[in-house]
Structure 1
Amino acid sequence: MNNSTADLSGKKVVLAYSGGLDTSVCLKWFLEQGAEPYALYLDLGQGEPADDVEAKALGIGAAGAFVRDAKDEFVNDYIAPAIKANALYGGEYPLFTALGRPLIAKKMVEAAREVGATHIAHGSTGKGNDQVRFDVTTASIAPDLTVVAPVRDWGMNRPEEIAYAEKHGLPFSSDITKESPYSIDANLYGRSIEAGPLEDPNYEPQSDVYRITADPETSPDEPTYVEIGFERGLPVSLDGENLPLLDLLVKLGEKAGDHGVGRIDMIEDRLVGIKSREIYEAPAGVTVVKAHKAIESMTLTKDVIRFKATVEQRYAELTYDGLWFTPLKSALDAFIEDTQKTVSGTVRIKLHKGSATVVGRTATKALYSKDLATYEAGSTFDEAAAAGFITLWGLPARQWSSVNGGIE
């Protein structure tokens, strides 16, 4: 795989096109270079009408526009395994943007094969993580294709992009202005907001930043309770209604978002070596991972939970770092899948004023036993066995102390 914007005249290029500022600027730039650009718009539930995006691309001058609905594939092949893995980068971010990138890259490769393109392109900057995800995914599945990243190669900043778009009459969101230059990415699993005043880590995000989560302070005074049913590690029902995972996540996100659940403000360690301030809205992701962990606490042994926590961290890092299609990721998937055989049951969660709190859980194959745990009469736990256990458990410590004279 090469990375080059040199000599694009006459070359077919497939561009991951969102209809936003960055990719609209890229599309126009390819035309100025004499390339034959094709736009690929992948519907991951971001809310932008596909017809509008297609019209934008063709209006700018794209040789063709691919519009693909990939929501089901995104949910079943990318979000689902991430839920099983409790994948949270930095312990907070549910990775909704990172999960979409390998799928977009895969679809770009497929489109390139269809039209005979030698290049694929994206609108990522040189400071972000997406450039790595797109480039490395392409290297993993189609190393013969050349990746082009015009924004990265230009080094053009946000105000300069806006000026370029205005000069050439390019359409871009009215939400983006020189005074409010947020960079926004969204899909059905969450929404990210960065740039502009948010780059000051001491700046408090204002109300215009958020779209899918209510202000916790003004959210309903009465809580809402939801019940999420799981089978083999995946949510299958919401409040007793069996639903496809796509529909379940959308409904759960709406319920949780109405109560201000899922707002994340974190300092994040980017793959390229810098720290960045990130604002996320992930009501569905935050809630479903919390519920999944609750079921696992009922059904997995202590040693599996402890070891899986290490795997989960590495899994999140691989996803974040663009290493989705790699041998280690496949191996971790196999381990995680094996742990989910008994992870079935129901979790009740209280949504209130920005918090999602687990308040109840039942499991089909629960390792928790009230008969063993209770302090009341009728306990089946043999307390008489405890003294002998403690003696053997503490034997190494006692032996050390007797030989070395205890701790000074």
Structure 2
Amino acid sequence: MAAVGEQAGQQQVKKVVLAYSGGLDTSVILKWLQETYGCEVVTFTADLGQGEELEPARKKAELLGIKPQNIFIRDVREEFVRDFVFPMFRANALYEGVYLLGTSIARPLISKHLVEIAAEVGADAVAHGATGKGNDQVRFELSAYALNPHIKVIAPWRLWDLTSRTRLLAYAEERQIPIAKDKYGEAPYSTDANLLHISYEGKALEDPWVEPDEAMYTRSVSPAEAPDAPTYVEIEFERGDAVGIDGVRLSPAEVLTRLNELGGQNGVGRLDLVENRFVGMKSRGIYETPGGTVLLAAHRAIESITLDRGAAHLKDEVMPRYAELIYNGFWYSPEREAIQALVDKTQERVNGTVRLKLWKGNVITAGRKSPNSLYRLDYVTFEEDSVYDQRDAQGFIKLNALRLRLGAMARGK
């Protein structure tokens, strides 16, 4: 590892801000940065609603020699949902048609704070614990460079020779880095969690033929074990964002927290996906996104009565591109921002309330209403009406059929 250290040291890093969880990997990275670069390390731990106590991360950083003023722990739950999750849900973004982008959408927010803290403390570099095989390295670094084109980014997994869990544990033991007891065994999978979702990857899940163990899930009951009686929920929207549940106004993070509870109780939001990583390989992941699954269904339901057909179909056309940009790490790109402007324009009159029925893993639309509804009973009724002349359809059909008839005649029919 000396050669790597010498090469890294040539970057002359004086102070680095590390995205720090307090786990084995980032704790080893913290010590490795100190030894390799001889630099001052600042830690940043984000409360994204992952459901874990974050104070242990502070204590562990202090134990590893980080000064209290260089330990940053920030509650970013409201910012996460308001400025990242909600804009994404206005677009109904799904990667490869199914994935709600729970991990992807958190990375630009973490990078934003890394760069901001670097500016606050005078650091010349940021560091992350993403591996050289995954998408997160791309997301962290594209975001960092977009926000500060001069920042240095250190990715230890692409530099060091600690290429196995055995080597990580040995390194930690040699330097007296505290290790959780369960880290000595081979964990069946790795996880990433925030207020939007939790993911499970690796180990037992690497064979796409193997069914996940039911005991793995933490945010939802099995649909088979969900209550027999359905749960009804009403979600209120303003300009495309959910602002209340069952008549109670809530903040963005409160909305998602409540929908997670309701969805999880009813077995909603599980996904088993083999996806295409940006770096080129396929990977298998299991995701639990109960609140997001409910929110997506509700948003599409309110759009169904408030969006013009052309606007709705245009949104559906650009959505795969928008979702791919987020998945690949281009949140701060001009093209994502341009699509966002289009999406947000369509949401100006997406107001109203949706009633959903949650039942044994299903999200069923039970009703929707809006003061801006484009649904007109006097036009669509099968009863007699005075506003629509059905004879008009004859000319409409003939004009639309003209090119088809000409084509058929040209083929000799």
Q: Distance in 2 between matches of 1:172 and 1:250?
A: 31
| Unpaired stretches in structure 1, ≥5 consecutive residues | none
Query: What is the 5 A alignment of 1:7-406?
Result: 7=10, 11-33=14-36, 34-63=38-67, 64-154=70-160, 156-171=163-178, 176-378=183-385, 380-406=387-413
Deviation of the 1:177 alpha carbon = 4.9
Deviation of the 1:162 alpha carbon = 4.1
Deviation of the 1:9 alpha carbon = 7.2
- Cα contact 1:162–1:178 (8 A) shared by 2: no
Amino acid at match of 2:31: K
Amino acid at match of 2:393: A
Q: Decide whether aligned partners of structure 1 residues 252 and 177 sit closer, same or farther in structure 2, where only a CA change above 3 A counts.
A: farther
Can you list the C-alpha shifts for 1:335-377, whole angstroms capped at 9, x where unaligned?
1111001111111111111111222211222222222222233
| Unpaired stretches in structure 2, ≥5 consecutive residues | 1-6
Deviation of the 1:271 alpha carbon = 0.6
SS of 1:15's equivalent in the other structure is strand
Amino acid at match of 1:119: A
Q: Decide whether aligned partners of structure 1 residues 174 and 187 sit closer, same or farther in structure 2, where only a CA change above 3 A counts.
A: farther
Deviation of the 1:264 alpha carbon = 0.9
Q: Decide whether aligned partners of structure 1 residues 157 and 372 sit closer, same or farther in structure 2, where only a CA change above 3 A counts.
A: farther
Q: Distance in 2 between matches of 1:366 and 1:35?
A: 60
Amino acid at match of 2:55: D
Q: Distance in 2 between matches of 1:357 and 1:162?
A: 48
Deviation of the 1:285 alpha carbon = 1.0
Deviation of the 1:181 alpha carbon = 4.2
Which residue of 1 is the match for residue 3 of structure 2?
A: none
Q: Distance in 2 between matches of 1:174 and 1:261?
A: 32
Q: Distance in 1 between matches of 2:220 and 2:134?
A: 25
- Cα contact 2:379–2:385 (8 A) shared by 1: no
SS of 2:211's equivalent in the other structure is coil
SS of 2:287's equivalent in the other structure is strand
Q: Distance in 2 between matches of 1:7 and 1:126?
A: 21
Q: Distance in 2 between matches of 1:403 and 1:122?
A: 63
Amino acid at match of 1:70: V
Identity among equivalent positions (%) equals 47
Deviation of the 1:239 alpha carbon = 1.1
- Cα contact 2:20–2:43 (8 A) shared by 1: yes
Q: Decide whether aligned partners of structure 1 residues 160 and 222 sit closer, same or farther in structure 2, where only a CA change above 3 A counts.
A: farther
- Cα contact 1:16–1:41 (8 A) shared by 2: yes
SS of 1:264's equivalent in the other structure is strand
SS of 1:41's equivalent in the other structure is strand
Q: Decide whether aligned partners of structure 1 residues 166 and 371 sit closer, same or farther in structure 2, where only a CA change above 3 A counts.
A: farther
Q: Decide whether aligned partners of structure 1 residues 177 and 356 sit closer, same or farther in structure 2, where only a CA change above 3 A counts.
A: farther
Amino acid at match of 1:222: A
SS of 1:125's equivalent in the other structure is coil
Deviation of the 1:21 alpha carbon = 2.3
Q: Decide whether aligned partners of structure 1 residues 61 and 379 sit closer, same or farther in structure 2, where only a CA change above 3 A counts.
A: farther
Can you list the C-alpha shifts for 1:203-224, whole angstroms capped at 9, x where unaligned?
1111232111111111111110
- Cα contact 2:78–2:251 (8 A) shared by 1: no
Can you list the C-alpha shifts for 1:319-349, whole angstroms capped at 9, x where unaligned?
1111111111111111111100111111111
Q: Distance in 1 between matches of 2:65 and 2:116?
A: 22
Q: Distance in 1 between matches of 2:104 and 2:347?
A: 23
SS of 2:159's equivalent in the other structure is helix
Q: Decide whether aligned partners of structure 1 residues 258 and 88 sit closer, same or farther in structure 2, where only a CA change above 3 A counts.
A: same
Q: Distance in 1 between matches of 2:86 and 2:171?
A: 40
TM-score normalised according to structure 2 size: 0.92
Q: Decide whether aligned partners of structure 1 residues 227 and 397 sit closer, same or farther in structure 2, where only a CA change above 3 A counts.
A: same
Q: Distance in 1 between matches of 2:310 and 2:13?
A: 59
Q: Distance in 1 between matches of 2:226 and 2:211?
A: 19
Deviation of the 1:397 alpha carbon = 1.4
Q: Decide whether aligned partners of structure 1 residues 353 and 163 sit closer, same or farther in structure 2, where only a CA change above 3 A counts.
A: farther
Q: Distance in 2 between matches of 1:76 and 1:391?
A: 49
Can you list the C-alpha shifts for 1:201-247, whole angstroms capped at 9, x where unaligned?
11111123211111111111111011111111011111111111111
Can you list the C-alpha shifts for 1:111-152, whole angstroms capped at 9, x where unaligned?
112222111100000011110011111111112121111123
SS of 1:213's equivalent in the other structure is coil
